[in-house]
Amino acid sequence: MNDSNQNRGQWSSSVGFIIACVGSAVGLGNIWKFPYITYENGGGAFFIIYLIAITLVGFPIIISEMVLGRHAKLNTYGTFKELSNNNWFWKLVGLLCIFSAVTILSFYSVVAGWTLDYFFNSLVGNFQSLTFENAGPRFGEFVGNGEKQVLYHTIFMFLTAFIIYRGTKGIEKAVKILMPVLGILVFLIACISFYTYGASDTISFMFNFDFSKITSHGVLEAVGHAFFTLSLGLGVMIVYGSYLPKGFSLVRAGIWITIMDTLIATFSCFMMYPIIFGTQMEVKESAAILFTTLSVQFNALPMGNVIAALFYLLVAFAALSSTISLLEPLVSFIDETYKINRKIGTIIGAVGVWIMGIASALGNGASEFFTSLALMDKLDYFTSNWSLPVGGMLISLFAGFFVSEKAKRDEFTETENKVFFKAWNFTIRFISPLLVLLVILYKIGVF
Ligand code: PHE
């Protein structure tokens, strides 16, 4: 352990740590992305593959990342460097992780900005005239408006940088209150949707296991999303784990993160699908369903605009607790590798990501050039489906084969060592990496 480790930040409590990790995991991936990719991939079979991936790949890898981070007490790159004795390949993997985080943040911040627009407009009552027919075109117009897109992207990157700059204590407190409120609201809205439009279509859609509907693309997407939604494969959990004092149970944290994340994702589908099936609205752009279903449905509720505003605000918060976790790996890397002051590192990092994000902000109709590049879709596809699974597979192998058993055992409690360690160690050595590899080979068309 080197000296600089002594000055590193630490989580205030184990609950604070779990909350921050849940904050990172729960975000647009659950509320915006999961419902739409599940919808596109035909429901049931996709959902099951996703659940298998969460259990056999996601959960063991969360623990691996935290074990690595807490053991090394360094940023992602530093962790690989230190634990591999300066091996060039593993250092490259560390850099790949940081690259993935930066790339995701660049487009994630744009989508996060959309929630701000929906918050403001709901609050002032502008959405009272929305119907299931005009909600789609309104959304299209909005994402095609360059000034607004850049403005909201800027606000979101600014908020993210501001929190990283000031330290994470404030966000820990905010997330502690807001996350449970979001969870309750998602649950209540799902109940209202079921009550209004009936549950049967949604349930049969989500739980019909018709595997003939699934394509190799869908399998890769389900596995890729398991990484995305749990914030895995890019070292976020390595960095968060590195701020964790000894003695907190990583297994307990892993269980909480996995369960909360999966519940919110599932209930997000339950909020939107009954509306889609019940009203038989036309879904032209499934990526828009978070905005085109609920914004209209809220109108039917008493004080609908206030509830809508609250909902989109909470989603913005969920996104913010994810964006800060996406910026942190870069900032801690700059800080610890180049010994640049953390605050300056934050500014350099945030400005860089902000510039990258402009391409996504202008790529939904605002600029012909950027729209033809369709960078947002491509970056999302490439990171979620390729760089995160490959990163996760390598992290799993690294933790499995390159870290001594004694070092790993040290990160677990006594009971966990007895009942859990062997199964986990076996899974991250053989099962999780192999499953990811099989999925990749299947996608490439090897079998
Ligand atoms: N897990 C976050 C979500 O579901 C996104 C994210 C991905 C955050 C990777 C950090 C790292 O929205």
Q: Name the residue with tokens 């079921």.
A: 194
For residue 134, give both structure tokens.
């005009």
Which helix (H) or strand (E) covers residue 250, if one does? helix 250-279
Q: Per mean pLDDT, which range of 58-62, 65-69, 279-283 is the poorest?
A: 279-283
| pLDDT 10s digits, 84-124 | 999 999 999 999 999 999 999 999 999 999 999 999 999 99
CB 333 within 8 A of CB 75: yes
Domains defined for the chain, CATH in brackets: 3-381 (1.10.4160)
Q: How far apart are CA 435 and CA 418, in angstroms?
A: 26
CB 70 within 8 A of CB 246: yes
For residue 127, CA distances in Å to 139, 141, 224, 295, 299 come to: 11, 14, 34, 7, 8
> What is the pLDDT at residue 289?
95
> What is the pLDDT at residue 319?
96
Give me the mean pLDDT over the 170-174 stretch.
73
Give me the mean pLDDT over the 69-76 stretch.
94
Given the CA of residue 261, which atom of ligand 1 is nearest to it? Answer: 4
Give me the mean pLDDT over the 40-64 stretch.
95
Q: How far apart are CA 373 and CA 368, in angstroms?
A: 9
Given the CA of residue 318, which atom of ligand 1 is nearest to it? Answer: 12
| pLDDT 10s digits, 216-233 | 989 999 999 999 999 999
> What is the pLDDT at residue 1?
37
Which helix (H) or strand (E) covers residue 99, if one does? helix 88-123
Q: Name the residue with tokens 């607004």.
A: 148
- Answer whether 104 contacts ligand 1 (Cβ < 6 A): yes
CB contact burial 160-191 (16+ within 10 A = b; e otherwise): bbebbbeebeebbebbbebbeebbebbeebbe
| pLDDT averaged over every residue in the chain | 92
> What is the pLDDT at residue 170?
67
> What is the pLDDT at residue 246?
86
* Residue 6 pLDDT class (50, 70, 90 cuts): very low
Strand, coil or helix: 278: helix
Of all protein residues, whose CA lies closest to atom 10 belonging to ligand 1? 231
Q: How far apart are CA 233 and CA 238, in angstroms?
A: 10
Q: Which among 343, 322, 317 is positioned nearest to 332, based on CA atoms?
A: 343
- As a whole number of Å, the CA-based R_g of the chain is 21
Q: Name the residue with tokens 């809508």.
A: 308
**Identity of residue 29:** G
| pLDDT 10s digits, 427-441 | 999 999 999 999 999
For residue 49, give both structure tokens.
């593959």
Q: How far apart are CA 118 and CA 402, in angstroms?
A: 47
Q: Which among 409, 402, 440 is positioned nearest to 424, based on CA atoms?
A: 409
- Answer whether 149 contacts ligand 1 (Cβ < 6 A): no
Judged against a pLDDT cut of 90, whether residue 2 lies above it is answered with no
Residues of the chain with pLDDT > 90, as a percent, come to 82
For residue 287, give both structure tokens.
């990526």
* Residue 157 pLDDT class (50, 70, 90 cuts): very high
Q: Where are the alpha helices (DSSP H) in 280-303?
A: 289-292, 294-297
Q: How far apart are CA 162 and CA 324, in angstroms?
A: 9
Residue 276, classified by CB atoms within 10 Å of its CB into exposed (0-12), middle (13-18) or buried (19+), is: buried
Q: How far apart are CA 191 and CA 412, in angstroms?
A: 39
> What is the pLDDT at residue 238?
96
Judged against a pLDDT cut of 50, whether residue 4 lies above it is answered with no
Residues of the chain with pLDDT > 70, as a percent, come to 98
Residues whose CB falls within 8 Å of the CB of residue 191, separated by 6 or more in sequence, listed in order: none
* Residue 3 pLDDT class (50, 70, 90 cuts): very low
CB 229 within 8 A of CB 25: yes
Judged against a pLDDT cut of 60, whether residue 395 lies above it is answered with yes
- Answer whether 27 contacts ligand 1 (Cβ < 6 A): yes
> What is the pLDDT at residue 172?
77
Give me the mean pLDDT over the 173-184 stretch.
86
Give distance in angstroms: CA of 20 to centre of ligand 1. 12
- Answer whether 29 contacts ligand 1 (Cβ < 6 A): yes
Judged against a pLDDT cut of 70, whether residue 203 lies above it is answered with yes
Mutate which of 22, 164, 229, 321 for ligand 1 pocket (most atoms within 8 A of beta carbon): 229
Q: How far apart are CA 250 and CA 389, in angstroms?
A: 22
Of all protein residues, whose CA lies closest to atom 7 belonging to ligand 1? 231
Which helix (H) or strand (E) covers residue 223, if one does? helix 216-229
